[in-house]
Amino acid sequence: MIDIELIRTNPELVKENIKKKFQDDKLPMVDEVLEFDKEFRAARTRADELRNQRNVKSKLIGGLMAKGEKDEAEKVKAEVKAMADELEAIAAKEKDFQAKIKERMFVIPNIIDESVPIGKDDSENVEIEKFGEPVVPDYEVPHHIDIMESFDGVDLDSARKTSGYGFYYLKGDIARLHSAILSYARDFMIDRGFTYYIPPYMIRSSVVTGVMSFDDMANMMYKIEGEDLYLIGTSEHSMIGKFIDSILTEDQLPQTLTSYSPCFRKEVGSKGLEERGVYRIHQFEKQEMVVVCKPEESKAWYDKLWQNSVDFFRSLDIPVRTLECCSGDLADLKVKSCDVEAWSPRQKKYFEVGSCSNLGDAQARRLQIRVRGEDGRKYLPHTLNNTVVAPPRMLIAFLENNLNGDGTVSIPEALRMYMGGKDKLIPVK
pLDDT at 274: 55
Alpha helices in 67-171 (DSSP H): 70-105, 144-150, 156-162
CA dist., res. 373 & res. 86, Å (int): 40
Angle at 73 between CA 67 and CA 77, to 5 degrees: 155
pLDDT at 270: 60
Q: Cβ neighbours of residue 347 under 8 Å, at least 6 residues apart?
A: none
Phi, then psi, of 136 in degrees rounded to 5: -110, 110
Q: In what helix (H) or strand (E) does residue 356 lie, and over which residues does it extend? A: strand 349-358
Terminal-residue alpha carbon distance, the chain? 54
Please tell me the pTM assigned to this model.
0.90
pLDDT at 268: 59
pLDDT at 219: 79
Q: Could you report the average pLDDT of every consecutive run of 10 residues in the chain (429 residues)?
A: 94 97 97 96 92 85 77 82 90 94 94 96 96 95 96 95 93 97 98 98 94 78 94 95 96 97 82 71 95 98 98 96 97 96 96 96 96 95 97 93 96 97 94
Task: State whether residue 366 is helix, strand or coil.
Answer: helix
Are residues 309 and 341 in contact, defined by beta-carbon separation less than 8 angstroms? no
Give buried/exposed letters for 274-303 (b at 16+ CB in 10 A, else e). eeebbbbbbbbbbbbbbbbbeeebbbebbe
Phi, then psi, of 402 in degrees rounded to 5: -110, 10
pLDDT at 383: 98
**Domains in the chain, ordered, with CATH?**
4-105 (1.10.287.40), 122-425 (3.30.930.10)
Amino acid, single-letter form, for residue 330: L
pLDDT at 333: 94
